[in-house]
Amino acid sequence: MGEATREAEALLLNDELVDMLMVLNYDSQDKDGFCDKEHQPMSRQYFAYPAANSSQQFKYFTQLCSWLLKLIQKEATWGKYDDPNTICTNLCVELTELGVPEVPPGKLKSGSGEGVCHVLHGLSKEVLKRVKTEWGGPTFPEEALADEVEVEDDSVDEDDHLANEEEEEDLIYCEAQRQDDNSVDEEGIMEAHVDPQEWALELERVTPKLKVTLQMSEGKEWRNHLVQTRQYHEVINKIFPETKSQLLKLGQNLNEALGRIRAKEAFINSQFDDRALIYRTQQEEFQQVQMNYNNLNETVVNLQNELRFLSDELETTKTQLEEMSSTVTDTTPIVKIKDAFQKLRKEARQLEVKIGVVSHTLMQAKLRQGRNGTEEGGLLGGTVLSEEGELP
């Protein structure tokens, strides 16, 4: 049920697409048109079903999209011999920029189906919006008013004519009054403000200008039909023998021509039976070659996709190698190590100076302590002094 619905929607979109393309004059043979010797005007179900030559159908689809984009001053971003996947991807990008509902590229590769019809329908609709198209008003042909035919009837005298006119006037007046009364009774809003006397005067004034077609009286109508029937019968009896002979002769000629055609057809079939067999054989070979071509084309597409993937990996690997080689040949870490070593040597010298200053300060403190002990201890202090004197 879903498949039937999609096919019906594709047929409807394709039918509307042809109407929009006709508005855009795609079938004109000038330079602004699309159709030429290679691209003939398509049918109203061309993109709804797969064609016998799918590659030709896909080519027609892509070139039609290029022509539609050209109408709004946009160039197609794909080439004539590009990969179908690349063409479909670039087309989806263009559709996204134009605001046309996007369709997955995989549905466009076949060149037919609901997705293709959606893309062409949306793109044509967008082109019609952007192209300044002036729509003129409807033109109606001038039709002359029919001349009124005057019918003269000698069988009705003037007195009967006047009497019939008076009766018709009375009937018309009574009917108008009855309708006015009914409308007032039913609706209760519409009210007639026409004076009956003025209405009667107006009717008397207009009646002579109206031409009424009078029919034959019912008593004489069947006689007229009978006379006409007899006249037609006489004419048919007079013409029928000659017409019958002509029809018989024509039938014989047609039978002879049909026999000759059948004999010639049998002769042609017998003469060209071998060529017909050769043609059928070549047709089967062509179908086989076409099937092989399609299979090889799919293989080429798959290999191109694999090549593209491997190329991306190769580019990534090259980038990593370049980064690693630049890291190996870079002398910045060695320079940083040398600078750090110089700083360490400078700090070591400063520490040595500080250690010497501290040692000198400590020695002076010990000397002062030794002097104080000499004053208190005498000989022991002298010995200490001699020992401290040997310390430096």
Q: What is the DSSP track for 323-353? A: HHHHHHS--HHHHHHHHHHHHHHHHHHHHHH
In the structure encoding, which two tokens stand for residue 244, read together? 């019958």
Mean pLDDT for 199-206 is 84
Question: Which position has the higher pLDDT, 228 or 167?
Answer: 228
Chain segment 362-383, per-residue pLDDT in tens: 999 988 888 887 766 654 444 4
Between 230 and 40, residue with greater pLDDT:
230
Query: To the nearest whole number, what is the mean pLDDT of the chain?
Result: 78
pLDDT, tens digit (0-9, with 9 covering 90-100), for 332-371: 778 888 889 999 999 999 999 999 999 999 999 988 888 8
Q: What pLDDT shows up at residue 282?
A: 93
Highest mean pLDDT, choosing among 27-31, 96-100, 192-196, 299-303: 299-303
Give the phi and the psi of residue 140 in degrees, each rounded to 5: -110, 135
Average pLDDT of span 84-97: 84
- d(CA 113, CA 90) in angstroms, rounded, equals 19
pLDDT of residue 168: 60
Q: For residues 312 and 310, give the distance between their C-alpha atoms in angstroms, rounded to a whole number.
A: 5
Q: What is the pLDDT of residue 256?
A: 93
Q: What is the pLDDT of residue 182?
A: 53
Please tell me the distance from the alpha carbon of residue 58 to that of residue 301, in angstroms, as a whole number.
15
- Using an 8 Å Cβ cutoff, are 125 and 68 in contact? no
pLDDT at residue 190, rounded to an integer: 59
What integer is the mean pLDDT of 106-121? 83
157 token code pair: 């005298």
The model's confidence at residue 309, banded by pLDDT at 50, 70 and 90, is: very high
pTM: 0.36
Cα-Cα-Cα-Cα dihedral sign, residues 374, 380, 386, 390: negative
Lowest mean pLDDT among 69-73, 173-177, 260-264: 173-177
- Asked whether the beta carbons of 48 and 7 are under 8 A apart, the reply is yes
Q: Is the separation of the CB atoms in 127 and 68 below 8 Å?
A: yes
Q: Among the listed ranges 22-31, 119-128, 206-215, 267-276, which one has the minimum average pLDDT value?
A: 206-215
pLDDT tens-digit readout, 150-194: 444 444 444 555 555 556 655 565 555 565 555 444 444 556 677
Question: Which pLDDT belongs to residue 392?
Answer: 36
Per-residue confidence at 90, pLDDT binned at 50, 70, 90?
Answer: confident
